[in-house]
Chain A
Amino acid sequence: MTTATLPQLTKKDFQTDQEVRWCPGCGDYAILSAVQSVFPELGIRRENFVVVSGIGCSSRFPYYMNTYGFHSIHGRAPAVATGVKIANPELEVWVATGDGDALAIGGNHTIHMLRRNVGIKVLLFNNRIYGLTKGQYSPTSEFHKMTKSTPYGSPDRPFNPVSLAIGSEATFVARSVDVFQAHLKDTLKHAAAHKGSAFIEILQNCNIFNDGAWFSLTEKDVRSEHVLQLEHGKPLVFGKNREKGIRRKADGDIEVVQLGNGITENDLVVHDAHHPRPSYAFLLSHMEHRPGFPTPIGVFRAWDDLPRYEDVMKDQLQEVISKRGPGDLNKLLRAGDIWEVK
């Protein structure tokens, strides 16, 4: 995958001739557009991209990407992608999935792919609803949410996808939003630069079955109050006039403070995305559940010191070969006690 002879690729090179069949106004269009814009900039040959998906609206994604693509079965994209990656670590494998696909039916594969640190980028389109099956609640739907399958409100407590990924000790975890195009593209590039597993939750609007699920974060008049943009090395500040921040308490917990009255940015937590341990990132991921706290977006964690799974597998193979020599079939078949019948 040398970049020296790389042809100049454009967004157009990543568009297919297939008619895009998402509902008009769906947030998926914005995500598709962002990915198609970022891929040509990564210095990777088009034929080396593989986009794998499961089932759901988001999982139609591969059909619209002019790369190698595999639309697999519900929840299994991380496992299919792991097989692809082990078989050919040179490939650039991205998974497109949704909150139901990755966290309900495929939850097991998601956490195991992350703990293994397979070099796969996961785009989790989180619209907090089942769209393709027309409006049942999902593992990220709010407690008490009224949906087609929960007319009296959902009895489930939701997953926080970022917390789950960090809990699985994913080495790269980020969050972005479908309509924040610049931020989304930037986040995708960060993920692309990461060697190990990269998990990006993309808050996405389903304008048919769950319209406005993220309006408190995306509407112009309110978003600065509710969104905290994480930047490595910068203090955690938010608010319309950047007047609020996150400070450590003596017991290790965090609190929201008003800047001024002697409190300056120097008193705030400075974001460290590269911390080797996941506990700090987990604390950040959990703040949005607390009253008065903002929802962080950006890169929570990017610690790339762990070898990729496919490299561990490959290295082990090489190591055995160098120790025992390349396999000799005749020797294998004649292993153990043998005897001759004349």
Chain B
Amino acid sequence: MSTLAEVPPTSKTKREVIERAVIRFAGDSGDGMQITGSQFTNTVALYGNDIATFPDYPAEIRAPAGTIPGVSGFQLHFSSNEVFTPGDAIDALIAMNPAALKVNVGDLKANGILIVNSDSFKESDLRKAQMTVSPLEDHSLDKYRVFPVELQRMTRAALQHLGIDAKAMDRCKNFFALGMCYWLYNRSTDPTMRWIGEKFAKKPLLMEANKLALKAGYSYCEATEAFQITYEIPPAQLTPGLYRNVSGNQALAMGFVTAAQKSGLHLFLGSYPITPASDILHELSQYKNFGVFTFQAEDEIAAITSAIGASYAGSLAITTTSGPGMALKTEALGLAVATEIPLVICDIQRGGPSTGLPTKTEQADLLQALFGRNSEAPIPVLAAATPGDCFWIALEASRIALKYMIPVIVLSDGYLANGAEPWRIPKVEDIPAIPVKFAKDPVGFLPYRRDPQTLARPWALPGTPGLEHRIGGLEKQDGTGNVNYEPLNHENMVRIRAAKVAAVVQDIPNVLPEGDPSGDLLVVSWGSTAGSITAAVKAARARGCRIGHLHLRYLNPLPGNVGEILKRYKKVLVPELNMGQLLWVLRAKYLVDAVGLNKIQGRPFKQAELEQKFDEMLGIQGNHR
């Protein structure tokens, strides 16, 4: 954890080397905090730090300016060591207005750095944040290192000569703040300068304004020695290779393009805009030169049914959505199960039920993914662990769908979708091909004649002479695919469809727990909690606890050795951002007396919350930190 040493009063700026820092940019949703955060992230990642980010923004595009509901935040944890979470408490907070300060200051560490835009603490600003007294004056911030900066006035002063209006000048003040942060953490402004150059290539005046604001913020610190101390976080020792920053949604999109290329198929995405999944549609719509068709359908149902049609006609077909959209796709999922066609469905989970918390993260769609269909309609379910893992999960889901002729569900969530991490770029030639075989020969062809190993039926594309056949949602006779209502045939088909999903287990790796291979406590996780649980387990083991961590990327079927691993530990804990859904599955399937740690606040776990629960289960008393 970062060590913010006592700063002796001196006029000379001191540079201190630290291991890690957590910084949060917070402001109005119109203040450009997400861009500011992303730019800072990009810069430190390029420098070689390991990172994890947590963008946290409201569902409203522009809630009334300056109000509490309008606060948008972007948190970044960067380090010269491994990073697994965006960090619990923050070392530096940039607050653009009183509302942002009010919402976020509670997470700031004592003696933490607090940069506030003092121009936005007028009486009217305070009123919008439901404050009566300025926190800059009432000593309530005394335990922090407060830096009130007239961001608005100084940005305007820097841009005055450009002849743009005040509103346009004010929109650049986030870059003034960003410039200050670069100075504070000894980072170059070059990557952001380059980005501004590209972003505003067609608007030279705005390009100039943003560049000037960034420069002005940096120079302001230099000239005024605003901070007596600056920080240096050396590059992290990551696995050698070529790296880039990637968010979960970007990684999913690239994963599917890669899967299409590796299988030699066109990629077809049927999708309907929904937060936080829409970025996958945005990304893929740019990749048309990869033979990608993106179909923005009239609704969620058309999104999946068009994908089913495209799959029937020979595309690698996918559909992307979030929980409420997933609910709408339910009947069509059953159709994909019955017709046994390859399809990948991505559910980027968010808080629910109903519209719920559109921009907040949750893991509460697991049981929906596993069971949310009428009758017996099993579907393999995979879940990504990190933003970068989304790439591999997309490939793996595509592979299983094509090999087994089956729909496959991918679970991600808002945290992975928008969060970013450095991602080691794979070599394309190292990624194995995905073999696809279309039926061609009419001799002995039956639409439901199965491969003995995978139970997959043949993929016979319309347009193939002699293979004309009919498929559909009515129960059919195995082999011929003719409509069939006989009792024993139905039971046979139900069992075959289940066996087919179960057969996927032969194709997925056994899992190994991280940490202690046996011991007092096993922590089981799935999805985006991987990072915080990894960090917490590492910390607890460093304190001498005997803990293992089992992370599951395959939720259906579960890897073959999960039952055996559960037995190696005295206690089993399943932390989830839901009411205990994997817990329910594990208890039911393995008769294990596992317990849950459940958080349903639209936010990821904090490391401290996890460690506290570990200690409770291990009988460790008192606060270890």
Contacts and interface: CB of A to CB of B under 8 A. Distances in A.
Nearest to A59: B472
A68 B469 CA distance: 5
B191 interface: yes
B152 interface: no
Interface string A57-80: 000001101111111111010011
Contact of B241 (A49, A84, A326, A340): A340
Nearest to A51: B470
Contacts of B339: 70
Nearest to B335: A73
Contacts, number: 213
A327 B482 contact: no
Given A317-B291, A327-B257, A76 B332 contact: yes
Contact of A87 (B244, B266, B332): B266
Contacts of A324: 289
A334 B244 contact: yes
A243 interface: no
Contact of B254 (A55, A81, A83, A332): A332
A314 B266 CA distance: 11
B296 to A, nearest CB: 11
Given A86-B293, A321-B288, A340-B242, 9 more contacts: A47-B467, A52-B309, A63-B483, A74-B331, A83-B310, A87-B311, A87-B314, A327-B257, A339-B48
A310 B240 CA distance: 45
A48 interface: yes
Contacts of B462: 47-50, 68, 84, 88, 91
A83 B317 contact: yes
B465 A45 contact: yes
B398 interface: no
A85 B462 CA distance: 11
Interface residues of B, number: 73
Interface of A: 16, 18, 45-50, 52-53, 55, 62-63, 65-74, 76, 79-88, 90-91, 108-109, 112, 313, 316-317, 320-321, 323-327, 329-330, 332-342
A332 B258 CA distance: 9
Nearest to A309: B295
B624 to A, nearest CB: 33
Interface in B511-529: none
Interface string B125-139: 000000000000000
Contacts of A72: 305, 308, 335, 472-473
A30 B317 CA distance: 36
B287 interface: yes
A308 to B, nearest CB: 14
A108 B473 contact: no
B266 A332 contact: no
27 contacts: A45-B465, A47-B467, A47-B468, A48-B462, A50-B462, A63-B470, A63-B483, A65-B470, A68-B463, A72-B473, A73-B305, A74-B331, A80-B308, A82-B302, A87-B315, A109-B301, A112-B298, A317-B293, A321-B288, A326-B289, A327-B290, A338-B243, A339-B48, A339-B242, A340-B240, A341-B237, A342-B240
